Structure 1
Amino acid sequence: MWIAVLLLAATVLVAGAMVSLVPAVRTGQWVKPLLAFSGAYLFTLTITHLLPEALTLLPEAPQRVGYWVLAGFFGQLLLEVLSQGIEHGHVHAPDATERGRVPLLLVLALVVHSLLEGSILVRGAGSGEVGQHFYALVLGIALHHVPAAVALATLLRLRLGSLRRAWPWLLVFALASPAGLVFSNYIVLQQLLGSGIYAALLGFVAGTFLHVSTTILFETSPEHRLNWPKLGATLGGLLLALAVSAT
């Protein structure tokens, strides 16, 4: 459990540090293949694990799960109005009026998104799909956070003039998913598993994952041409998630 906490936090912090330590990271050439890989991986885990478990938890009313999936899908659409698509590695250069100012709404939207992701990581789900493949889902979320952390660090560096001033905000982002994980497993675990709340939460987060992953996959090939590195990364993410599902 605590390995997952450390992995989720360290992924964001290391990715943020790379913006300053490795100049090539700022060119973003590696971002699209990683996005394609993580998008395919998350999409596959959502279809094979999150949605089946949510439906299993509410067999008497499966349509309620569908409503929560829709809420998550369109809720993420609204969140991205505030986050400006930073979950997908987007960085919009700040204008003169934004320099020196922290984009609080953007950070808040990213933290809410990350907190929800961490909240479904419940080992106490017993024999459920999430419980069985806990670390597979942790890996997917961690990979998804790498381009987001690089984009956030880059944006804050541009706005605040140095990465040193950006670190408190990167730390807030780094701790969001671990906070959701700890809250679900150690504070409200019985309430989650003893009611339909966990099924609703799984459905909602599955909807956000569907939105994020499909947007990533469409954005990495906007010209609808065959791009071998992106295709290879997409297939790699798909096959890894399927391999995990089979174990």
Structure 2
Amino acid sequence: MWVAILLLTATVLGAGALVGVVPPARTTQWLKPMLAFSGAYLFALTITHLLPEALTLLPEQPHQVGYWVLAGFFGQLLLEVLSQGIEHGHVHAAGAQERGHVPLLLLAALVVHSLLEGSILVKSDGSGEVSRNFYAIVLGVALHHIPAAVALATLLRLRLGSFGRVWPWLGVFALASPIGLVFSNYVVLQQLLGSGVYAALLGFVAGTFL
């Protein structure tokens, strides 16, 4: 479990740190292939592990999983409006009135998205496919965070003017998924698996990946 926590945290911090040492032109070159690969990898995990497990947990009500997938899809559209697509590596130039200010709404949307992703990472007998493929899914989430971390660090650097001031906010993003993971595995595990909540959560997060 600690390996997963360290991987999720280090991936975001490491990707953000690259912004301070790699020229923007070079970053753009590898960011697009990374986006394509991480998106394809997450889609494969969604189809082969997340959705099958959600359907297994609700065998008599599979349509409910479909509803949660739709909810996740539209929820992701809303989050993208708030985050301005930063989770996909998009960075919008800061206006004069935005310089010196942290985009709190954007950061909050990114943190919520990351928290939800971390919350499905349950390693327990009751989580079936997710538990059996735990580290493959952790890797998918970590890869998915790389473009977002680069974009967030770039945006914050443009707005705050100093890379040193970026780290606290990047740290907030880096800890979101690990907090979701810890909460699901150590705080509400029995409640999560003892009802249809985990199936709903898997469906919702799967919808955000589509």
Q: TM-score, normalised to structure 2's length? A: 0.98
Q: Which residue of 1 aligns with 2:59?
A: 59
Q: Mind listing any 5+ residue stretches in structure 2 that lack a counterpart? A: none
**Helix, strand or coil for the counterpart of 2:93?**
coil
Are 1:26 and 1:154, in contact at CA under 8 Å, matched by a contact in 2? Answer: no
Q: TM-score, normalised to structure 1's length? A: 0.83
Q: Which residue of 2 aligns with 1:173?
A: 173
Write the distance in 1 (CA, Å) between the matches of 2:60 and 2:25. 49
Q: Which residue of 2 aligns with 1:222?
A: none
Q: Mind listing any 5+ residue stretches in structure 1 that lack a counterpart? A: 211-247
Name the % identity.
82
For the aligned residue pairs, the C-alpha RMSD in angstroms reads 1.1
User: After the TM superposition, which parts of structure 1 deviate over 3 Å for at least 4 consecutive aligned residues?
Assistant: 24-27
Write the distance in 1 (CA, Å) between the matches of 2:85 and 2:95. 17
Report the CA distance between 1:163 and its aligned residue.
1.1
Are 2:53 and 2:127, in contact at CA under 8 Å, matched by a contact in 1? Answer: no
1:196 aligns with 2:186: no
**Helix, strand or coil for the counterpart of 2:78?**
helix
* Matched AA of 2:172: V
Are 1:126 and 1:132, in contact at CA under 8 Å, matched by a contact in 2? Answer: no
Are 2:156 and 2:166, in contact at CA under 8 Å, matched by a contact in 1? Answer: yes
Write the distance in 2 (CA, Å) between the matches of 1:22 and 1:31. 12
Q: Which residue of 1 aligns with 2:207?
A: 207
Is the alpha carbon distance of 1:199 and 1:159 closer, same or farther for their aligned partners in structure 2, counting shifts above 3 Å?
same
Where do residues 132-151 of structure 1 align in structure 2 (5 Å cutoff)?
132-151=132-151
Q: Which residue of 2 aligns with 1:124?
A: 124
Q: Which residue of 2 aligns with 1:157?
A: 157
Report the CA distance between 1:124 and its aligned residue.
1.2
Is the alpha carbon distance of 1:127 and 1:98 closer, same or farther for their aligned partners in structure 2, counting shifts above 3 Å?
closer
Are 2:82 and 2:106, in contact at CA under 8 Å, matched by a contact in 1? Answer: yes
* Matched AA of 2:182: V
Are 1:125 and 1:193, in contact at CA under 8 Å, matched by a contact in 2? Answer: no
Is the alpha carbon distance of 1:186 and 1:87 closer, same or farther for their aligned partners in structure 2, counting shifts above 3 Å?
same
Query: Per-residue CA shift, 1:80-135, capped at 9, x if unaligned?
Result: 11100001000001111110100000000000000000000000144611010000
